[in-house]
Structure 1
Amino acid sequence: MEKVKIYVSIFLKGILAGICIAIGGFLYIKARESTELIIVPAFLFSIGLILICNFGFFLYTGKICYLVDKMIAKEGIQYGIQLVLGLVGNYVGAIFIGFVLNKTLGSFNIVKTMVDIKLDYAWWKLIILGIFCGMFIYFAVEGFAKVNNKIGKYIILMLCVAGFIICGFEHCVADMFYFALAGVYTGKSLIAILFIIIGNSIGGLFVPLIRRVLYE
């Protein structure tokens, strides 16, 4: 029964994290409509991860980074289940907000363009772009957790989030929201998300693995 409560909590926190990313994504879209400069919209997107880190919600791309630690502690299987539940929750939250905004406000030309570009990428490009995004997310969440300076932890988080957006890297939960906001629910979009999830997972695990080799 205790495990069930934990799993339900993870799922609900996953939904809330998906909603937060959707909020950041929508701020990004609205800002992009009013300016050709990507820098300001990119920084506005970081509000999503700021909310998640402060309220303790469950974002898959942030939590996958700690799978190595859990496996070493022999908690890998249980943590893996939590990751899956959290990811499903992220999907539900992001898709829900995207669906509601699409039905309320309609689609946006910039979103359609973004989605078309993402769907035109080859599978290996989605994985590579996802890997680099996963690395940025690791630096963001680990920096937020480890930096003691209250201002410094927000600076590193915002710079990392803005960085992966400016570079055009792919974040699976954000892309879930964008596809829903564009009203795109196809097998091709689902496959694209799966490849991005693979990339985000590899990127999120890469630096922790290297750190283990170097320092332990």
Structure 2
Amino acid sequence: MAADAPAPEPRRDPTGLDAFRPAEVARRIEEAGVTKAALHAQPLAVLSVMAGIFIALGAAAFTAVVTGTDLAYGPTRLLGGLVFSLGLVLVVVAGAELFTGNALVVLAWVDRKISGAGLLRNWAFSFMGNLVGATLIALLMGASGLFAGPVGETARKLALAKVTIGMPEALVRGILCNMMVCLAVWLTFAARSVTDKIFAVLLPIAGFVLMGYEHSIANMYLIAAGYAAGADITLASYLHNLVPVTIGNIIGGAGGVALTYRLAYGPPK
């Protein structure tokens, strides 16, 4: 009997990288957007709350690791950014609905795979769920007694620094931030393993923290945590930061990443 023919060699990327190609990433993100828009209310709400919790846990870890250092010092911010990456790692690997990452759902809307109502429904659920989850962790941190010492002082400083940023500056920092966050998410769709996804998240997220950009969901926790730690925060000052940062995050993620790649690759095939 003739020997079995050898199996064909798997097709390799010419770059030598074991990753999906950019055009394939665009297609996979569009498919994910269709799935996200079709989620029933209960899982969408639960996963949105979980995403807020995950980002808040990363922000709480960031607050702890930068305590006792100069918050404006580069290496400190880089270390804090790497630790803060915990939040998006949990979102990507464990699975959750993060408002800022869901700016990429606009790709499915542009190609008419979902309706405008479906897009806005996903954004509304994820934003409000993220707010609930992030605020819950801030309240739990306040009740834990961990804000009684130096970590509480850091939480107050971080919150007051954020609510005193001018609205135009907050808008621009929000744009720049979610470009980095959505690029991190984009890279995770190119990855083939959990390890690849984690490494894809680290540098973009550490980079945006290092450069002082503004993330709406992280700020939901950081400002609420500052209030829980005793900072003089009002609803007006909270919204003074959150509104322009949220608008900037939408512009940076939906326009700066999703629509830009849509122009580069056309409708994903």
Report deviation, 1:110.
Answer: 1.6
- Count of aligned pairs between the two proteins: 214
Matched, 1:174 2:218: yes
* Alignment partners' CA distance in 2, 1:187 and 1:8: 31
1:148-163 alignment to 2 at 5 Å? Answer: 148=192, 150-163=194-207
1:4-83 alignment to 2 at 5 Å? Answer: 6-36=40-70, 37-72=76-111, 73-83=113-123
Show structure 1 runs of 5+ residues with no match: none
Q: 1:24 to 1:71 in 2, by over 3 A?
A: same
1:175-190 alignment to 2 at 5 Å? Answer: 175-183=219-227, 184-190=233-239
Partners of 1:38 and 1:166 within 8 A in 2: yes
Report deviation, 1:137.
Answer: 0.7
* Alignment partners' CA distance in 1, 2:173 and 2:61: 22
Q: Secondary structure at the match of 2:66?
A: helix
Report deviation, 1:189.
Answer: 0.6
Normalised by the length of structure 1, the TM-score is 0.92
Q: 1:74 to 1:58 in 2, by over 3 A?
A: closer
1:136-191 deviations in Å (ceiling 9; x for gaps): 01111110111236544322211111110000000001000011111135222123
Report deviation, 1:111.
Answer: 1.9
Matched, 1:192 2:241: yes
Normalised by the length of structure 2, the TM-score is 0.74
* Alignment partners' CA distance in 2, 1:178 and 1:144: 26
Counterpart of 2:177 in structure 1 is 133
Q: Which protein is richer in helix relative to its size?
A: 1
Partners of 2:93 and 2:194 within 8 A in 1: no
- 1:96 is aligned, of 116, 136, 140, to 136
Identity %: 24
Partners of 1:67 and 1:80 within 8 A in 2: no
Partners of 1:7 and 1:82 within 8 A in 2: no
Paired letter, 1:165? V
* Alignment partners' CA distance in 2, 1:148 and 1:68: 21
Partners of 1:131 and 1:200 within 8 A in 2: yes
1:64-114 deviations in Å (ceiling 9; x for gaps): 122132342143311211210111000000001101212322361122212
* Alignment partners' CA distance in 1, 2:40 and 2:240: 29
Q: Secondary structure at the match of 1:82?
A: helix
Counterpart of 1:213 in structure 2 is 263
* Alignment partners' CA distance in 2, 1:56 and 1:177: 20
> RMSD of aligned C-alpha atoms?
1.9
